[in-house]
Amino acid sequence: MKTIKEDDLKKLAKKLATGNFTAKELGVDQKTLRHLKDLGYQLRMSKQKGETYYTIMTSGENVGLFLSGKSDKAQEFRWLEISDIHAGSYQFDKSGLILTLKRARDEGIKDVFISGDLCDGLDVYHGHRNNLKYWREEDQVEVVAEILSAFPFRYIASHGNHDCSWEMRGSLNPVRMIEQQVKNFIYMSNYAADIIVGGVLKRMVHGASGRAYAKSYPGQTYLRDLLDGQGEDAYVHGNKYRLRFVQMGHKLCP
């Protein structure tokens, strides 16, 4: 099946925003759905009676997590931010990850925020398999889960486009598999995850193809709008907060 044009993808997104559809009902293949994700649309998957259904997630569906509230007393918060581990690829830096986690542990860090792409996935781009040391999802998960389990952190993680390549193949998201294997690991099951720390709103976002997974905006536009005061407010567990920290993964990760 030929890849459809961007205008047709936008029409497809509008249809997906109206309900749940299978790929067959939409008349598209998995490659087309991946292109839709590359444009920045958030696809939610659900399984019913053996069929996989897709729909577009709205910006109001950001996952919220409350860690701690504000206090009249002075508070100091220290955490580690990492992204794009890409376990399973030949470029995966195992020693670098271990060294980073050791240093964070020695400095008394308690929380580690991971903004996506913990695993390298499969067939994300042309020739991807040539860049993989481990092709099986279970092997990629085991590599990173073994390392994370060796440290006493609380991990808060969202997923990225490489992680979701397994979902596009009908498999379980590897970040959820890691959550099942690693103690004190919290999977924020969305591309944009809002966390309240000390009464302050922190957001984790993963980007793909130069775009942030939020309203289909390019990453630069997303950040510009935040700096201009647009989209700064968010609701977490029914309470309104002003955004103060943004952690971005993918190509926008420093």
pLDDT digits (tens, 9 = 90+) for 90-127: 999 999 999 999 999 999 999 999 998 999 999 988 99
**Around Cβ 122, how many Cβ atoms within 10 Å?**
20
Burial of 197 per CB tally in 10 Å (0-12, 13-18, 19+): buried
37/84 same-domain check:
no
Give the domain range for residue 46. Answer: 6-57
21/139 same-domain check:
no
The pLDDT of 146-154, averaged and rounded, is 97
Q: Which of 169, 226, 172 is nearest to 203 (CA)?
A: 226
Out of 57, 82, 100, a domain closes at 57
Instruction: Specify the DSSP element, H or E, that contains 115.
Output: strand 111-115
In a domain, 1, yes or no: no
175/69 same-domain check:
yes
CATH number of the domain where residue 19 is located: 1.10.10
pTM more than 0.85: no
246/205 same-domain check:
yes
Handedness of CA 176, 251, 3, 127 (dihedral sign): negative
Beta partners for residue 113, in sequence order: 81, 156
118/12 same-domain check:
no
Where residue 227 falls among pLDDT bands split at 50, 70, 90?
low
Number of domains in the chain: 2
